[in-house]
Structure 1
C-alpha cells in the first residue's frame, strides 16, 4: 500500500465524467456553465463525506462503475437509485462508508433516475480548467471522460468531519408523472400559443444527454408552432434550465452543458430544483410542466 490515495477505475458502463459545480461567469466568452447535471445530488454527496460543496466527484450515467480503492477511502453515492456494493456487499445509497485499500466499489444500474454521484472525502483531484474540474461534453473543456484503466487521485478538499453521513432517499414510482416547475418567457411571442407547454403531457426522448432533455408530445392535441418570420430571430444568450422550442415543436430543456447562444425561441425557464429533476429523467418518463 502506497501513501497516495486514488480510485483505479476498471469499468464505467455507459459513461462517467468528473464534475463539480462548473464554470460560472464565462458565458460572455462562449464557455458553458457545465458542472453536475443534478447539482443538488452533487452537493449532498460532498456534504455527506465532509467535502466542500465545490469539490469534484464522479457523475455516473446509468451505473456500471467498477473502481478499486488505493488507500483507505471514505465514499458515498447519491442521485439515481441503484445498489452500491463494496466487494459485492451492498452498503446503502446516500450513506457514506469506508472502503479499504484493495476493495472493489461498484455502482449498479439505477432503478430510478439516470445519474449517480460518487464523492470521495478529499475530492477527485484532476487539473482544473478555468477554475473547474468539470468535463464539458459540448465544448470539450476539462478532463477527458473517465474510461477503464483511469486512475483518479484523491485531493484535500475536505473540511471538518460531517455532522451526518446518511441521508435516506425518498423512493419514487418510475411510472409516476414528473412535474417540472417553470416560468413563462422570454420569447413566448415567437410561438403561436406558449401555454400549450403547460397543457398535456410529454415523454422523454432517448436522444437526451447532458446538453439537454428532448421531449415528445404524448397526445395528438395542438402542437407548439413557431410564428411566421422565425428566420429573422438572431442568436441570443441561453440560460441554464431554458426550455427552447425548435422547428419540430418538441421542447428541449437545457442542462449543464447547454450552448451559450441559440436562435430558436426560449418560451420558459425551469426553477433550479426542477433542472435537477430534469437531469434524472430516463427515456420514456412522463413529464408535465407546472407554473409555480
Structure 2
C-alpha cells in the first residue's frame, strides 16, 4: 500500500473530505474542507471522486515523502510546490516516484492548500466522514511529524488530461462576497444594514475553521434583548455585543446565541476559506 510519510506538517495539516451533512439534529456540524471547490478540483485532477479525503494545509511549510508511486495535485492557495526540488505546476496532476519528497512552501495567495493523492487519504471514518471537526474533536487527529498516512485503492477513473489554464490563484486584493438576508436582520437598524453593504471590512486575526471575525463599522441593533439559541448554517453572520460580525464556517456550533444579520451565499464560502488576515472584504446582495 502506498503511504505518505509526513516529515513536516506546517502550521496545520488536517484530513478533510466533504464533511457530515444532515447531522445538525444530533449536534454535529457539517465540517469538511473549507474550500470545497479546491478539494473537488484536486480530486478530479487525480481521478478521485470529488469527496475523497485529502489534506487541508494552512499556509504551507509542509514536507512529506512518498512510499510508493502516486499521482497527486495541489490546489487552493497559491505558492511554491516542488517534488525532489523540481517545481510542480499549480492546479495540475503530477506523478511521484517511490521515495520522492514533496514540499509545499508558504502561500503567497490565499491561505489553505488542498493536497489530493490518487486513492484518497485512507483515514478512519467517523459518522460517515474522514473530516476533522476542530470544535467537536471528531475525526482524524491533526497530522503530526513522523506520521504515515495510508493511501486508498486506485479509483476506477483514469487521471484526466486537464489544460493548466484552469488555474486561477485566489485574489490578493479586495474580495466581494454575496449575502442573503439573515433571519434576524430586523434586529438591526437601517444604518447597520446599509453599512454592511457600503463599508469595507477586513478579516481579523481571529479566523479559523469555526468562524471568521471581521473588523469594520459597528452594526447597531434595533433590538437589544436576549436571543434564545437558534440553529446556524455555514455562512451565518452573527453579530456579537460589540457590533462586529463573525462568519460561521464548517466547524461552527450548530446553534448560536447572537442574532444573524445575513448569511454568506454558498457560492461565496470557498472565497472566505482563502481570505488572509487583514484582507479587505466587501459585500453585495445575492
Length-normalised TM-score, structure 2: 0.96
Alpha-carbon spacing, 1:77–1:201, altered in 2? closer, same or farther (3 Å) = same
Residues in 2 aligned to 1:71 and 1:18: alpha-carbon distance in whole angstroms: 20
Deviation track 1:53-92 (CA, whole Å, cap 9, x = no partner) reads 1100000000011000010010000000011100111111
Structure 2 residue 101 is matched with structure 1 residue 104: yes
Select the residue among 17, 25, 50 that pairs with 2:47.
50
Residues in 2 aligned to 1:109 and 1:6: alpha-carbon distance in whole angstroms: 24
Gaps of 5+ in 1: none
Contact 2:67 2:99 in 1 (8 A): yes
Structure 2 residue 184 is matched with structure 1 residue 196: no
- Map 1:120-199 onto structure 2 (within 5 A): 120-156=117-153, 158-167=155-164, 168-171=166-169, 173-174=171-172, 176-192=173-189, 193-199=192-198
Q: SS at the partner of 2:110?
A: strand
Aligned residue pair count: 283
Residues in 2 aligned to 1:152 and 1:245: alpha-carbon distance in whole angstroms: 40
Deviation track 1:158-194 (CA, whole Å, cap 9, x = no partner) reads 23113334544224552x2100011112110112233
Residues in 2 aligned to 1:228 and 1:128: alpha-carbon distance in whole angstroms: 44
Structure 2 residue 283 is matched with structure 1 residue 289: yes
Alpha-carbon spacing, 1:164–1:230, altered in 2? closer, same or farther (3 Å) = farther
Residues in 1 aligned to 2:22 and 2:278: alpha-carbon distance in whole angstroms: 34
Contact 2:73 2:91 in 1 (8 A): yes
Residue 209 of structure 1 and its aligned partner are, at CA, apart by: 0.3
Alpha-carbon spacing, 1:276–1:171, altered in 2? closer, same or farther (3 Å) = closer
Residues in 2 aligned to 1:173 and 1:277: alpha-carbon distance in whole angstroms: 9
Determine the structure 2 residue equivalent to 1:225: 220
Deviation track 1:231-279 (CA, whole Å, cap 9, x = no partner) reads 1x10000011111111111111111111100010111111222110001
| Moved >4 Å (runs of 4+) | none
Residues in 2 aligned to 1:206 and 1:278: alpha-carbon distance in whole angstroms: 13
Alpha-carbon spacing, 1:84–1:73, altered in 2? closer, same or farther (3 Å) = same
Alpha-carbon spacing, 1:249–1:157, altered in 2? closer, same or farther (3 Å) = farther
Q: SS at the partner of 2:47?
A: coil
Alpha-carbon spacing, 1:60–1:37, altered in 2? closer, same or farther (3 Å) = same
Determine the structure 2 residue equivalent to 1:256: 250
